[in-house]
């Protein structure tokens, strides 16, 4: 079981490029028709200097470009089959645009046992910066681990 010793642990920073083709695949999968994500003129009219990404896409970028997408789970000894996503948040500081190269720096912020140890909640926080060193966003997620309970 994951315990307090995991708090503060950080993982390999992830560098991700915002590629137009992969973004289009995401937009098509979601049936996203908003011109602000698909048309350069619409994006400019909406106040962007390039094409922006949808609000949850930061989460995808981190997973797409990581060398080992489940590094955190293996490092902490968590079985993927026992993991659920509990919470997710994004704080946006500056636009993220197609062509940007982002760096994600994830770390364990908290570990909390629930229901007498039947579940462990792991809080992961991640700072996101772009190629110019601009702090564009902060993300946070809570991972729920369903622990094996002796019967």
Partner 1 sequence: MASADIKAGDRIVHKVFPPITRHTLALYCGASGDHNPIHVDIDFAKAAGFPDVFAHGMLVMACLGQALTDAVPPSKLRSFATRFVAITQLGATLTCEGTVTELFAEGGERRARLALTTRDDRGEVKLEGSAVVAL
**Contact set with partner 1 (CB under 8 A):** 22, 25-26, 28-32, 34, 36-37, 46-48, 52, 54-56, 59-66, 69, 80-92, 95
Report the alpha-carbon distance of residue 70 to residue 141 in Å, rounded.
14
Cβ density class 130-151: b for 16+ within 10 Å, e for less: beeeeebbebbbbbebebeeee
- Residues in the chain, how many? 151
Which residue, 1 or 93, has its beta carbon nearer to partner 1? 93
- Smallest separation, CB 74 to partner 1 (Å): 13
* Cα 105–Cα 18–Cα 16 angle in degrees, nearest 5: 30
Task: Report, in Å, the least distance between residue 129 CB and partner 1.
Answer: 18
C-alpha span between 13 and 30 (Å, rounded): 28
Closer to partner 1 by CB, 1 or 84: give it.
Answer: 84
Residue 3 or 83: the one with the smaller Cβ distance to partner 1 is 83
Shortest Å distance, C-beta 148 to partner 1 = 11
C-beta closer to partner 1: residue 52 or 106? 52
CA–CA separation, 20 and 105 (whole Å): 23
3-state secondary structure of 66: coil
CB of 108 to partner 1, least distance (A): 19
């Amino acid at each position: 079981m994951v315990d307090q010793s995991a708090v503060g642990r950080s993982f390999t920073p992830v560098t991700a490029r915002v590629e137009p083709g992969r973004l289009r695949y995401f937009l098509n999968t979601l049936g996203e028709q908003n011109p602000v994500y698909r048309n350069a003129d619409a994006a400019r009219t909406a106040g962007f200097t390039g094409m922006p990404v949808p609000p949850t896409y930061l989460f995808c970028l981190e997973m797409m470009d990581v060398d080992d997408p489940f590094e955190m789970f293996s490092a902490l000894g968590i079985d993927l089959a026992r993991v659920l996503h509990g919470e997710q948040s994004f704080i946006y500081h500056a636009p993220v645009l197609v062509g940007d190269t982002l760096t994600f720096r994830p770390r364990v912020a908290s570990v909390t046992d629930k229901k007498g140890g039947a579940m462990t909640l792991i809080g992961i926080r991640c700072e996101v910066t772009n190629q110019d060193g601009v702090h564009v966003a902060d993300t946070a997620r809570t991972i729920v681990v369903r622990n094996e309970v002796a019967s």
